[in-house]
Structure 1
């Protein structure tokens, strides 16, 4: 947990037809902390995966942002877990569409006890839950989605064109 740079490279996303300003226009590029705050504080998230036949699949989940990745649990036989086993590429979006964040990454199963403990310790107070490590291990995998690319936009009136930001994590 920590193989991402602390601050990714930021730029404007390519969004033809939307009037996106250059990087110095409007309020300028959003700081990475802006996206991390939304990835941390959201209660519900959408996870989009791809079925083996190419159909999209999108479901809401609960999860936590821990340092460098978004973590969530899943039933081992759920559609999303089976999709991620076949193709780990996915998109995670916090529920807010006004101050929107879209994280593209690759999900990996987490099996080490220390990371699972940290997941449970962050998850329980956030959701006022009493999840046990043993329950997590019995229920199914914990996934970590580390970002490759994140796009954030503040869609409050007058902010969209001058706030759209893309954060890039290494080569695509």
Structure 2
């Protein structure tokens, strides 16, 4: 699958005079290499629910998994709109990326097997899954549902030279 390469648009209101828009390839690399992400979903009553989790970038989207009865899975079932954030917990250095999109459940076992392989490659033996019956099954027991979150809009926030880049996907 060919990934979109939308142009970055710099928002001068939130950027230093010498800042430049980042390339999507740079943000995608940060999303791919991040160890931890923060997923924001919408509770049925409209309140946000934010939780840290691991994930993998594959085929132009972030993939995450969770227990089917966990709050984030229930939230996505009711309202699939979400945001994923990763970056650094610093003020004057690093780069943060926010992806807004819609979480779609992955049930195809072949696609789930690719996601499982990506988890294993990135996180090692502790995150070994087998794909079957539309779920990821952990070697230690238990099953997880997987979601694909393709970006609709993404933002990058540079800190050493303050910058605010926006990417819009079609």
Note closer, same or farther for the CA distance 1:136–1:56 as it changes in structure 2 (3 Å cut).
Answer: same
Alignment length (residue pairs) = 158
Equivalents in 2 of 1:122, 1:13: separation in Å?
34
* TM-score of the pair, normalised by structure 1: 0.84
What displacement does 1:139 show? 1.3
What's 1:107 paired with?
103
* TM-score of the pair, normalised by structure 2: 0.84
What's 1:26 paired with?
18
Deviations 1:66-94 (A, max 9, x none): 02100011100000000000100000012
Unaligned runs of 5+ in 2: none
- Residues 19-168 of structure 1 correspond to what in structure 2 (within 5 A)? 20=15, 26-97=18-89, 98-129=94-125, 130-134=128-132, 136=136, 139-156=143-160, 159-160=161-162, 163-168=163-168
Equivalents in 2 of 1:87, 1:63: separation in Å?
20
Is the CA contact 2:152–2:168 (under 8 Å) kept in the aligned structure 1?
yes
Higher strand share: 2
Is the CA contact 1:46–1:95 (under 8 Å) kept in the aligned structure 2?
no
Segments ≥4 residues shifted beyond 6 Å: none
Q: What is the alpha-carbon root mean square deviation over aligned residues?
A: 1.9
